[in-house]
A and B are shown apart, each in its own frame.
Chain A
């Protein structure tokens, strides 16, 4: 049975179990994934995962409770599990007080988005990776691919379906110790030739890592941050930055921007761009997301992501954010710098290919820390001179995205998040590179 048919069956079962005076919500997630892990150009852990999880919410009056269960794809067993799930949720209602922030979509808006792709077979992908890692290369990483499906249904008749096939090959070529080139090939149309092109480019950078590494002293340096480096920064900052609850409880790192005591450069604009991302266009209470939500416009903090619960709590309109009020399809506007001119414009300084392990030094002041990683280079006269030993940054968003921002690149990278905690991620980032006049390192 297809995931789509299975979802329809599960939704109908839950609807059939819903009593008068109750409303039920059914959230369906399924994936059929291949995970092929490799190290030193050899197979480390190859395998597949088939997973189906359904979360049933039962609402009676202003009380609400939810139960999640794994389904098997076998009709009788699934019927039994769903009956138990509905029963458990209903039992929990008995002790639940009224929920003052209860929110669910009661104006049904059904939708469907399906994208299919032909993905490589097990043998094909093992062959392709082994070929890329041949010739003495030390290749380490993972290939994750397959179908992901999200469904929403409620007992008011709403049905939403999002199903996509994709692959994400995320790897490094290692020179030695911590010196490596990070590469990624993700999408829906697999091509051996495209993999060869990306691997070839990474191989050229790898050659630069054999030069003696340079160590710099703590201090301020002119720096170019690639889109991958910005991905690390935004991947951290967006965790708690743009939610309405973060805004109202004054926990956002953009606090000074909101208070008018800190300014970002007017060229910094950021939006949640659901229309051009790969995440579902609906959320778990059944609200449909707008195509875009402006988060930073012309350097100013703009709209928040508003979950249905926050909307009720703070008296606002929801814009279909998830419970965590985090972006899933982040889009940063580009600038005017041509990517192929980045090194020349950098002149002398640090080319930051990747950053790592971002966190806060002072959240109120938007001050973050993190480390350089992989093929970060020292540049002189617009040319790469040497790989750089790891450095810790400690700087504020109001400097590197504000007073010290020299330029943003015109062309941007579309980065599909390779994360797979619990599930394969459907988050994406469309980001430029950034040239910064003075970027602070501390250790």
Chain B
């Protein structure tokens, strides 16, 4: 679909116009079986492009589904009108950034291609997974699903830039809901299961083996006592760590938030520019990286949407804050180093500072070592609820699964395990980081931010981690 774009762009751009076009052609497929009934297959083909023009210190964009020469010309005219209207009125540091001259490409590696597996086989798998979850009459809802998106992006600029990237992302879904005597409890594969690759990811994510366990655990939770209210040690499983990183490290370190762009919607940050290089974000055990080169992680790429080449950077090293997640244009505004994280969720939204792959580097402790350190505590996994203030400081998370730890051993299952804290203190209480045997590559499918709003996929790879003296509580009135 994008083969003819290069010629059309060359023909459409008027002389002495500085601009870029970022085009997308994606195919998304959805398969789902809920309560043993297959839902209609859904396929979504998404094709469009955004033109960005810089003129006289102003900048504007126009997005269109029409990639013909006349269609691109109309978009360039519209973007030019915005650039003229905003000239001399742009936020300091924007409007005359120029466009990339970089050239390159990227493609997801698939071991077994999604398209090599017939639709009937995918539906048969989901039907089997669904059937295996209905183990008891107290299981009132259950479903299995598969989502796959193949996205092709082409960035062209009048400065000679040409970047072609293809990502293939797999998102499995599996959940069982049990309900009895006023208690409804859910167990799921979690919303953190997302990765780049082929159909092999389903095995790596444990989808095929999960149904009976999810049903059994949902039933256990219905009968389990409420989580107790107390300050205690907490081991956070990697699928919950994904969200902990995302909300209380990722968002506060986005440079556009620090620069105030998000204050009307997603919020600001408790992190200020003067903290980089000196601020103790966490204990010595905390090492956080921006790593776009992890092969199967959801947001791996070679270049961001401004055309900056992506590479691994430490954001936090041994607990000390190093650099924010800020794109080249934000780096110029803030006079700070950053990373290649200018990203748009689709052709019809402009790029901005985003998480991509944001990871916690593994430590040395096995899971048994972590549990063995705890005299009185709780192990939690799989996010159910999340909430954090607009400065990304006061947070509260709820998990599907909680299991008490007593004298170095996992014991009783409890329901509605919640915990809360304050980001700026919480990471300093990190006292154990799991080794690679607890390490999971996951992410989030729908990170919301920006005006106009954008939901984008991000990657988070992390081990299980142990925190001291966390405020834990359960449900009830």
Measuring CB to CB, which residues of chain A are less than 8 angstroms from any residue of chain B?
33, 35, 37, 39-40, 42-52, 57, 64-74, 77, 81, 84-85, 88-89, 92, 95-97, 99-101, 122-123, 126, 130, 138, 140-142, 144, 170-172, 174, 177-178, 180, 182, 245, 248-251, 255-256, 259, 261, 313, 356-365, 367, 369-371, 373, 390, 392, 394, 396, 398, 419-422, 424, 442-443
Contact = CB atoms under 8 A, between A and B. Distances in A.
With most chain A CB atoms within 10 A of its CB, the pick from B65, B261, B477 is B65
A388 B309 CA distance: 44
Given A70-B65, A255-B184, A361-B475, A47 B82 contact: yes
Among B46, B85, B386, B416, max chain A CB count under 10 A is at: B85
Interface in B324-377: 346, 348-350, 352
Given A65-B43, A251-B186, 17 more contacts: A49-B452, A72-B66, A99-B38, A100-B37, A122-B85, A123-B85, A140-B261, A177-B391, A251-B141, A357-B388, A357-B389, A361-B418, A364-B183, A364-B475, A365-B477, A390-B389, A443-B420
A443 B419 CA distance: 12
Contacts of B394: 371, 390, 392, 443
A95 B68 contact: no
A144 B45 contact: no
B183 A68 contact: no
Given A92-B43, A95-B120, A360-B398, A45 B389 contact: no
B43 A67 contact: yes
B179 A250 contact: yes
A40 to B, nearest CB: 6
Nearest to A50: B64
Nearest to A180: B263
Contact of A359 (B47, B90, B386): B386
Interface string B36-68: 011111111111101000000011111111111
Contacts of A84: 45
B37 A65 contact: no
B268 A126 contact: no
B285 to A, nearest CB: 25
B220 interface: no
A140 B264 contact: yes
Contacts of B386: 359
Nearest to A63: B40
A353 to B, nearest CB: 13
Contacts of B141: 245, 249, 251
B92 interface: yes
B475 A251 contact: no
Contacts of A250: 140, 177, 179, 184
A126 B65 contact: no
Contacts of A101: 37, 39
A123 B86 CA distance: 8
Contacts of B398: 359-361
Interface string B61-92: 11111111001000000110110011001111
Contact of B81 (A95, A122, A313, A373): A122
Interface string B389-419: 1110110101000000000000000001010
A177 B391 CA distance: 9
A392 to B, nearest CB: 5
A364 B43 contact: no
A392 B420 contact: yes
Interface in B257-304: 259-261, 263-265, 267-268
Given A142-B264, A250-B184, A371-B387, A47 B60 contact: yes
Contacts of A45: 59, 61, 350, 352
Contacts of A64: 40
B476 A365 contact: yes
Nearest to A91: B119
A251 B175 CA distance: 13
A250 B183 CA distance: 9
B106 interface: no
25 contacts: A42-B89, A43-B89, A46-B60, A65-B41, A65-B42, A70-B48, A72-B66, A88-B43, A95-B118, A99-B38, A122-B85, A140-B261, A140-B263, A142-B265, A178-B268, A360-B385, A361-B418, A362-B476, A364-B475, A365-B476, A369-B387, A371-B387, A392-B387, A394-B396, A424-B452
Given A46-B61, A126-B85, A256-B182, A420 B453 contact: yes
A72 B65 contact: yes
Contact of A92 (B41, B86, B267, B396): B41
A363 B179 CA distance: 13
Given A95-B119, A360-B384, A141 B82 contact: no
Contact of A46 (B43, B64, B82, B118): B82
B268 A177 contact: yes
Contact of A42 (B37, B92, B123, B396): B92
Nearest to A261: B182
Contacts of A392: 387, 389, 394, 396, 420
Nearest to A259: B182
B451 A99 contact: no
B40 A65 contact: yes
B448 interface: yes
A67 B119 CA distance: 14
B94 interface: yes
A73 B264 contact: no
Contacts of A373: 389-390
A56 B391 CA distance: 43
Nearest to A99: B40
A37 B387 contact: no
B54 to A, nearest CB: 12
B259 A48 contact: no
B390 A47 contact: no
A144 B452 contact: yes
Contacts of B46: 68, 70
B159 interface: no
B147 interface: no
4 closest A-B pairs by beta carbon, nearest first, are A362-B475, A47-B61, A142-B451, A249-B141
A420 B265 CA distance: 12
A68 B91 contact: no
B10 interface: no
A42 B81 contact: no
Given A100-B37, A363-B184, A371 B390 contact: yes
A46 B40 contact: no
Contacts of B424: none
B452 A142 contact: yes
B231 interface: no
B89 A126 contact: yes
B45 A67 contact: yes
